[in-house]
Amino acid sequence: MKLSTLRVLVLSVVAGAAGAQAQEKFTYTTNWYAQAEHGGFYQALATGLYKNAGLDVTIRMGGPQVNIMQLLAAGQTDCVMGYDVQTMKGWEQGIQAVTVAASFQKDPQVLIGHPGVVNKMEDLKGKTILISSAANTTYWPWLKTTYGLSDSQVRPYTFNIQPFIADKNVVQQGYLSSEPFAIEQEAKFKPNVFLLSDHGSSRRAWRAGRATSRAIPRRPTR
């Protein structure tokens, strides 16, 4: 089965992810503020599942200003909720991290456009595209190369859907389970949603990752 995942758990090789000992302290950092998809981790903490496994777990929230890979590299967290491409980019930057688990079979990252204006990925040319700072080093290089786009089209995504609603020539990033629904509720129209994994983003990134990993000592990822 092919897995194309966005949210992944990442452990630092440098930090030494050893087997759990009795009440071993372990810090886990999520990729965003607490939300429904994170519920299992908080539930495990609340019901004592971590404690039963010999772990004293602290869960910290991520957010728009939190660089989780930087925290991982600095030893300020033991494990993070990250991204497939993010792990490969970490190796490029000297952060020896490994993916240890996958939560989704498909990457839920999407681009969102106005119906009648952006009906296919090729319609992205000439449009203003709102993306996060993390996207600039993960899926944007692939997107730009594949569809002949330009850095001049990019503007910061502030996690506010109003700029998109106000301008039909704006395209924004989002999660399949979040922004499209919020836009439909607020603007009373159904936006066009493009799941990047359906257009080959993770597959191509994975091929690129395999090519660069040949010079890297192989380590088990599962």
* Sequence ranges of the domains in the chain: 8-105, 109-203
Residue 16: which pLDDT band, with cuts at 50, 70 and 90?
Answer: very low
- Choose between 131 and 96: higher pLDDT: 131
Q: Would the CATH topology of 8-105 be identical to that of 109-203?
A: yes
- Choose between 12 and 167: higher pLDDT: 167
Mean pLDDT over 73-81 rounds to 92
What pairing do the DSSP bridges indicate for beta strands 55-60 and 128-131?
unpaired
**What distance in Å separates the CA atoms of residue 179 and residue 161, rounded to the nearest whole number?**
7
**What distance in Å separates the CA atoms of residue 52 and residue 200, rounded to the nearest whole number?**
41
- Residue 99 reports pLDDT greater than 50: yes
Residue 20: which pLDDT band, with cuts at 50, 70 and 90?
Answer: very low
- Domain 8-105 class in CATH: alpha beta
Q: What is the pLDDT of residues 132-174, one digit of tens each?
A: 988 887 889 989 999 999 999 999 999 999 999 999 999 999 9
Please list the alpha-helical segments (H only) found in the chain.
39-46, 49-52, 68-73, 84-92, 140-147, 162-166, 179-187, 201-213
Residues paired with 10 in a beta bridge: 80, 99
Q: What is the pLDDT of residues 104-131, one digit of tens each?
A: 777 888 999 999 999 999 999 999 999 9
Which among 77, 68, 79 has a CA at the least distance from the CA of 103?
79
Element (H, E) at 174: strand 170-175
Residue 158's contacts (CB-CB under 8 Å, 6 or more residues apart) are: 130
| R_g of the chain, CA atoms, integer Å | 19
Mean pLDDT over 61-72 rounds to 88
Tell whether domain 109-203 is in CATH 3.40.190.10: yes
State the pLDDT at residue 8.
52
Residue 89: which pLDDT band, with cuts at 50, 70 and 90?
Answer: confident
Which among 90, 72, 89 has a CA at the least distance from the CA of 28?
72
State the pLDDT at residue 220.
37
What pairing do the DSSP bridges indicate for beta strands 170-175 and 128-131?
parallel
